[in-house]
Amino acid sequence: MFQSKLFYKAKKEFPKDEESINAKYLIRAGFIEKLSSGVYEFLPLGFRVLEKITDLVRKEMLSLNAQELLLPALHPKENWLATQRWEKFDALFKLKSRTGSEYALGPTHEEIIFPLVKEMISSYKDLPLALFQIQTKFRDELRAKAGLLRGREFLMKDLYSFHKTNEEVEKFKEKVDRAYLRIFKVLGLKVYKTFASGGTFSKYSTEFQVPTEFGEDEILICSNCKVAWNKEIKSDRICNFCKEILTDHKAIEVGNTFNLGDSFSKSFDLKFKDKDGKEKYVFAGCYGLGISRLMGAIVEVFHDDRGIIWPEKVAPFTFHILILKKKVNLSEVESIVKIIEKLKKDYLLDERNISFGQKLVESDLIGIPYRLVLSERLKNMIEFKERKSEKVKLLKISELFKFLKEKLKIK
């Protein structure tokens, strides 16, 4: 894509009405705009990142044999009364239609998916079942000052699984845990599997916590075991496993996996007929992953004074080609573009008529992982630089394909 055509404008300063690193950087670099407190607009750069995170998460969900569906945001009041959460869930947005129907705007979908599953299944043969969606959620947050980390409107993946026994839920939960860890590994994100309060059916639920100063959770990390405890369940400061002293961190929860037991099944009378002919309550788990929140967490972790440093798999583009010469050699640019297309990667080409210094500043701000510079001072060589490194490498165009293929580990 040509940068001159991109709906994008870098700002000279960080926005003054944002406190969090993620919102400051993402707004300044032209990825998002704030519409109102906790409500953000995703511009083309930001949308591309969301899409890439979505693709990565969807692939892992499908690998669990979960099926994708799409549930509404408008939830009937009755469904939330059935679980007593109409009153108990503080952050529930509520509204009324002209004809008097009352709705909640869904912050989660247990109240919707349990009655749906009840409509569709009846026998042990219908289980296990795993369903997920990637959908916009709403929470009436009192304080929404952490950018994408805590929004009033946000994009989330929610997965629900349904089983014959509690043990089956636990086994499936472990599979989801591993899928989440694979996602974080691809992103290079250090995420702590964190013990948190679990409700009735299992001692703990699992939170996936990213340490960051703008996180709203407090966790205790064992640097030896690489696990953590949410402070809400942990008064002592010594690791259960290795007796190491735990350290305090602020963190943001980017995902969770939770054994619901049969609690929601009881609220909605969700039962199945087992092999022995008896009717039993369905056991279930729920598994959330914040898509837009993950985008925010990535920026909290991967940035420096100059801007964002995107992990390759979710960067808005893989390559940033900067033309820092007055006389552009079009065939040279075309050759580079062809090489990138042959590698099946995407690129942003800065061919704008602005100062070279400004192009370099904005390139660092946007944070595309690989930069290729064409400049008069380089003669016919091309400068390659990774955003995360200070080293540069000069290459002939004839060497470029082989070099990039190895660098990006493309088979």
Q: Per DSSP, what are the bridge partners of residue 161?
A: 130, 285
SS3 letters for 168-216? Answer: HHHHHHHHHHHHHHHHHHHHCCCCEEEEEECCCCCCEEEEEEEECCCCC
Residue type, 310: W
Residue with smaller CB distance to a second copy, 7 or 243: 7
Residue with smaller CB distance to a second copy, 90 or 334: 90
**In whole angstroms, how close is the CB of 11 to a second copy at the nearest point?**
10
Residue with smaller CB distance to a second copy, 4 or 223: 4
Residue with smaller CB distance to a second copy, 114 or 195: 114
189 within 8 A of 295, measured Cβ to Cβ: no
**In whole angstroms, how close is the CB of 75 to a second copy at the nearest point?**
8
Residue with smaller CB distance to a second copy, 141 or 216: 141
Distance CA 371, CA 387 (A): 7
Phi, psi for residue 40 in degrees, rounded to 5: -120, 150
Residue with smaller CB distance to a second copy, 118 or 393: 118
Residue with smaller CB distance to a second copy, 99 or 380: 99
**In whole angstroms, how close is the CB of 363 to a second copy at the nearest point?**
19
Q: How many CB atoms lie within 10 A of CB 208?
A: 27
Distance CA 287, CA 159 (A): 5
239 within 8 A of 219, measured Cβ to Cβ: no
**In whole angstroms, how close is the CB of 324 to a second copy at the nearest point?**
20
Interface with a second copy (CB under 8 A): 5-9, 33, 35-37, 39-44, 46-47, 50, 65, 67-76, 90-91, 93-95, 97-99, 101, 103, 105, 112, 116, 119-121, 129, 131, 136, 138, 140, 142, 152-153, 155
What is the token pair recorded at 83?
Answer: 């679980």
Residue with smaller CB distance to a second copy, 30 or 211: 30
**In whole angstroms, how close is the CB of 196 to a second copy at the nearest point?**
25
CA distances (Å), origin 49, targets 69, 291, 349: 22, 10, 17
**In whole angstroms, how close is the CB of 283 to a second copy at the nearest point?**
17
Residue with smaller CB distance to a second copy, 142 or 330: 142
Q: How many CB atoms lie within 10 A of CB 95?
A: 11
DSSP β-ladder status, 319-324 and 370-375: parallel
**In whole angstroms, how close is the CB of 42 to a second copy at the nearest point?**
4
Q: How many CB atoms lie within 10 A of CB 122?
A: 12
Closest CA to 318 of 351, 352, 342, 297: 342
**In whole angstroms, how close is the CB of 140 to a second copy at the nearest point?**
5
**In whole angstroms, how close is the CB of 112 to a second copy at the nearest point?**
7
Distance CA 257, CA 285 (A): 7
Distance CA 89, CA 107 (A): 9
Distance CA 372, CA 357 (A): 15
